[in-house]
Amino acid sequence: MIGLLQRVTRAEVRVDGDSVGVIDAGLLVLVGVEQGDTAAGGTRLLERLLGYRVFADDNGRMNRSLSDTGGGLLLVPQFTLVAETHKGTRPGFSAAAPPATAARRFDQLVAEAHRRHPRVQAGVFGADMQVSLCNDGPVTFWLSVPPDSK
């Protein structure tokens, strides 16, 4: 499972003109689900997202996590993160989990996030979404939990 996290001062997801998720300071995370990803892998990704130290401490160093700050977490499904781009001029998606499986894994991730963190919002799997954000820093990291990890 892949999480492309961005530290934001604000982020929002809209579907058909309606806001479906909005946060102030926190993390916007684009989530890609690969073939073979498990619920346990999603839990491990969530642990990393909540514990990853990307927020400044009193000395201006990135030593605080989302769990430390209590900021918002906006999870957005994005299958294009698992695209194969190493050759040619068109991405391939054979590494992506089938839509039904990916939707189930994303929903499990969101449910677990709600259990572990007080401020969670999410995009809509399979929807045409418009995502807006103000990247703070900019700070962006690619986190990955391989499909076979536990």
Q: Can 78 be counted among the known catalytic residues? A: yes
Q: What pTM value is reported for the model?
A: 0.95
Question: DSSP character for 79?
Answer: G
Dist. CA 150–CA 107, nearest whole Å: 18
Which residue in 35, 80, 85, 130 is the catalytic one? 80
* Predicted confidence (pLDDT) per residue in 83-128, tens digit: 989 899 999 898 899 999 999 999 999 999 999 999 999 999 999 9
Which residue in 6, 78, 108, 121 is the catalytic one? 78
CATH code of the region 2-144: 3.50.80.10
Task: Please tell me whether residue 67 adopts helix, strand or coil conformation.
Answer: helix
Which residue in 79, 106, 121, 125 is the catalytic one? 79
Task: Please tell me whether residue 40 adopts helix, strand or coil conformation.
Answer: helix
Beta strands 26-32 and 72-77: pairing type?
A: parallel
What is the chain's mean pLDDT, rounded? 95
Q: Can 55 be counted among the known catalytic residues? A: no
What's the pLDDT at 147? 83
Q: Can 80 be counted among the known catalytic residues? A: yes
